[in-house]
């Protein structure tokens, strides 16, 4: 189901972008037209993903939005988010629970006043209230800082770079091959598309590093915001508990960057979250 949703979303983005290009009469054979094409797909995909982020998160993670708290724990959860949202100066986000043993939580949504804060059942029933309060403050800080929109803009810029640069370089390679070819036919359509695909992958790795860098900065900022909303000791306690908890990995790849506890990687350059040890040290040194 998750894979089908992802495929359907990408197909919808491609369809909408293709229709807009057709209506605008964009000619991708010119540098200007190619740049418009790259920006349309780069920013278009990023902003459509942002617009449907809450819906996608609910479907992907199986989130159950709390409308009428069923017990004191759910009531405390909603009241805590409401109090922190008021402190942060934003509208009350939707609050949800998703079933997972993993200690994790995330925030998403198209704007500060239209957001979702969700926690795993493992976190809600496996951490103390002080620790959970720190986690919630971190997620509310993400919303208040407008991190979803900020990272969408960054993603749009790097997407545009990848699409534009890959096709420019592929065109240059095609021209070199064409000049050395007696018939001047160049790479041919299939070979050209294969080169574009490889370059998309290579530039995409570089783009991922750039997005991950800014994501790590936003995590430090959200930790600082949480320290102001809930208190530094509660945020440190939450991070310490996350460090001791079960290994992450239950959250799908497309959602893991949103979680408070990101996935580990062989290189920190590819990590969307700084190591928990660095986050704890940064808070202690504030």
| Residues designated catalytic | 139
Q: Which residues contact 105 (CB under 8 A, 6 or more apart)?
A: 117, 118, 119, 120, 123, 135, 136, 138, 139, 259, 260
Q: Report how many helices (DSSP H) and strands (DSSP E) the chain contains, helices first.
A: 11, 4
Phi first, then psi, for residue 97 (nearest 5°) are: -125, 140
User: How would DSSP label each residue in 123-192?
Assistant: HHHHS-HHHHHHHHHHHHHHHHTTHHHHHHHHHHHHHHHHHHHHHHHHHHHHHHHHHHSTT--TT-HHHH
Count Cβ atoms within 10 A of the Cβ of residue 41 and give its class: 0-12 exposed, 13-18 middle, 19 or more buried: buried
Task: Outline where DSSP puts E strands in 56-103.
Answer: 64-65, 94-98
The CA-based angle 82-242-95, given to 5 degrees, is: 25
Strands 105-111 and 64-65: unpaired
């Amino acid at each position: 189901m998750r894979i089908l949703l992802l495929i359907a979303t990408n197909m919808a983005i491609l369809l909408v972008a293709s229709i807009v290009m057709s209506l605008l009469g964009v000619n991708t054979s010119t540098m200007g037209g190619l740049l418009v094409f790259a920006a349309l797909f780069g920013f278009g995909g990023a902003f459509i993903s942002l617009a449907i982020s809450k819906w996608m998160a609910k479907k992907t993670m199986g989130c159950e939005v709390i409308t009428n708290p069923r017990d004191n724990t759910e009531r405390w959860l909603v009241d805590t988010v409401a109090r922190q949202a008021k402190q942060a100066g934003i509208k009350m986000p939707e609050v949800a629970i998703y079933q997972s043993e993993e200690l994790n939580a995330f925030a998403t949504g198209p704007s500060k006043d239209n957001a979702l804060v969700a926690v795993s059942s493992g976190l809600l029933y496996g951490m103390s209230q002080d620790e959970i309060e720190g986690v919630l403050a971190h997620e509310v800080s993400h919303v208040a800082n407008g991190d979803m929109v900020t990272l969408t803009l960054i993603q749009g810029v790097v997407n545009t770079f990848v699409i534009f640069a890959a096709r420019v370089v592929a065109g240059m390679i095609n021209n070199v091959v064409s000049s050395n070819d007696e018939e001047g036919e160049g790479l041919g359509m299939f070979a050209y598309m294969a080169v574009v695909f490889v370059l998309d992958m290579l530039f995409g790795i570089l783009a991922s590093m750039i997005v991950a860098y800014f994501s790590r900065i936003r995590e430090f900022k959200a930790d600082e915001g949480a320290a102001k909303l809930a208190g530094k000791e509660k945020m440190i306690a939450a991070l310490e508990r996350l460090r001791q908890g079960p290994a992450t990995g239950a959250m799908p790849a497309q959602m893991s960057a949103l979680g408070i506890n990101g996935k580990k990687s062989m290189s920190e350059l590819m990590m969307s979250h700084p190591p928990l040890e660095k986050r704890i040290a940064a808070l202690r040194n504030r």
